[in-house]
């Protein structure tokens, strides 16, 4: 990976041509991101498969940005089978077995910090909050966003899940922010999203404990909306959509009202990214060694789907 993170790597790409499938349409934005529209539930599903680690590398961020540009250009409609269909739901999910997402690209962080490349860190952080914020505001469309968590959901992966209106998790999923273990904090929206959901005291406990939480614990805290048996996550999302059919418009509007009451502005997220970058540039050699240990664990988890 290029150490200095060229800006072109984060630029959006051209849209792929939708391909018809039995349930609707499929679009491949890159080898790391595929998307399909299910015409029955009117849901757009994205599934990421990052390589070589299950984290938000710059190429994946570029693909997500292209997908979100596609959603913005759609005006909430997609042509399928010669008919226009509304997009009522946008679902985030993973194609990596046992892992939703492990978060930021720690190996890239280490390289950029070693190179004293503050601009590169800031560019990466801004690319992260750009895609998270678009999901948080539901792409400025009258739709509902859903995160389906199946497996490990850590750091920036947890932040991504929190950017959705609704979070459904399978019971073996685990959540946490490991950044405090190497003397940092999660700087791409975690504080903003969590504080709005569960308040300052509980949010800071989750952010600073370094603890890995179960899906049931996250449900009890009010962080997620449903915890279901393993293998039932996709069915639960379909069931949730069915239950909301008659009140979909009102519930989407209620989510928009909630975002207005608990308003998170892009500038808030950007200011926190700048705090995060300043903090990263102050890390000492011991902190960097601890970060490298987590890089090794990221690599291992990508292979085994387990944290030892």
Q: Domain limits of the chain?
A: 7-233+246-300
Region 203-208 average pLDDT: 97
Q: What is the pLDDT of residue 296?
A: 82
Per residue in 110-121, pLDDT (tens digit) is 999 999 999 999
Cβ 219 vs Cβ 174: under 8 Å: no
What's the CA gap between 87 and 245, in Å, rounded?
Answer: 13
Region 93-102 average pLDDT: 95
What's the CA gap between 96 and 244, in Å, rounded?
Answer: 29
Per residue in 215-229, pLDDT (tens digit) is 999 999 999 999 999
Name the CA radius of gyration of the chain, rounded: 18
The yes-or-no verdict on residue 100 having pLDDT over 50 is: yes
Q: What are the strands of the beta sheet with 166-170, ordered from one edge? A: 19-21, 24-30, 33-38, 43-48, 89-94, 144-149, 166-170, 226-228
Region 123-128 average pLDDT: 96
Q: How many CA atoms lie within 13 A of 247 on its CB side?
A: 6
Q: Which residue has the higher pLDDT, 306 or 32?
A: 32
Region 156-169 average pLDDT: 98
What's the CA gap between 130 and 137, in Å, rounded?
Answer: 11
Q: What band does 3 get if pLDDT is binned at 50, 70 and 90? A: very low
CATH number for the domain whose boundaries are 7-233+246-300:
3.90.226.10
Q: Looking at the chain, list the stretches that DSSP marks H as alpha helix, in order from N- to C-terminal side.
A: 58-74, 106-114, 118-136, 156-162, 190-198, 200-209, 215-221, 233-243, 248-261, 266-280, 285-304
Cα dihedral angle (157, 163, 169, 173), rounded to 10 degrees?
A: 20
Q: What is the pLDDT of residue 22?
A: 86
The encoded tokens of residue 23 equal: 């349930």
The encoded tokens of residue 267 equal: 């500038």
Decide: pTM greater than 0.85. yes
What DSSP character marks residue 56?
A: B
The yes-or-no verdict on residue 134 having pLDDT over 50 is: yes
The yes-or-no verdict on residue 43 having pLDDT over 60 is: yes
Angle, CA 244 vertex, CA 238 and CA 246 arms, to 5°: 130
Angle, CA 198 vertex, CA 196 and CA 199 arms, to 5°: 70
The yes-or-no verdict on residue 62 having pLDDT over 70 is: yes
């Amino acid at each position: 990976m290029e150490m200095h993170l060229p800006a072109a790597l984060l630029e959006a790409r051209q849209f792929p041509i939708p391909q018809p499938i039995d349930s609707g349409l499929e679009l491949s934005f890159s080898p790391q991101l595929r998307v399909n529209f299910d015409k029955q539930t009117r849901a757009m599903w994205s599934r990421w498969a990052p390589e070589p680690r299950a984290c938000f590398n710059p190429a994946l961020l570029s693909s997500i940005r292209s997908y979100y540009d596609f959603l913005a250009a759609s005006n909430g409609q997609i042509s399928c089978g010669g008919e226009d269909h509304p997009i009522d739901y946008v679902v985030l999910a993973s194609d990596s077995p046992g892992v939703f997402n492990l978060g930021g690209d720690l190996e890239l962080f280490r390289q950029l910090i070693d190179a004293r490349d503050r601009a590169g860190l800031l560019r990466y952080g801004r690319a992260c909050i750009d895609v998270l914020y678009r999901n948080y505001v539901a792409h400025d469309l009258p739709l509902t966003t859903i995160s389906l968590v199946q497996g490990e959901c850590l750091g920036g992966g947890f932040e991504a899940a929190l950017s959705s209106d609704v979070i459904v998790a399978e019971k073996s999923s685990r959540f946490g922010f490991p950044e405090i273990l190497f003397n940092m904090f999660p700087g791409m929206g975690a504080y903003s999203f969590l504080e709005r959901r569960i308040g300052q005291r509980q949010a800071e406990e989750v952010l600073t404990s370094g603890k890995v939480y179960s899906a049931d614990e996250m449900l009890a805290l009010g962080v997620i909306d449903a915890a279901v048996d393993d293998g039932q996550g996709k069915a639960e999302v379909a069931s949730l959509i069915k239950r909301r059919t008659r009140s979909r418009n009102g519930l989407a509007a209620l989510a928009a009202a909630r975002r207005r009451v608990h308003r998170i502005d892009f500038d808030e997220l950007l200011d926190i990214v700048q705090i995060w970058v300043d903090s990263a540039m102050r890390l000492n050699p011991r902190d960097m060694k601890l970060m490298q240990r987590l890089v090794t664990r990221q690599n291992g988890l990508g292979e085994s789907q387990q944290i030892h």
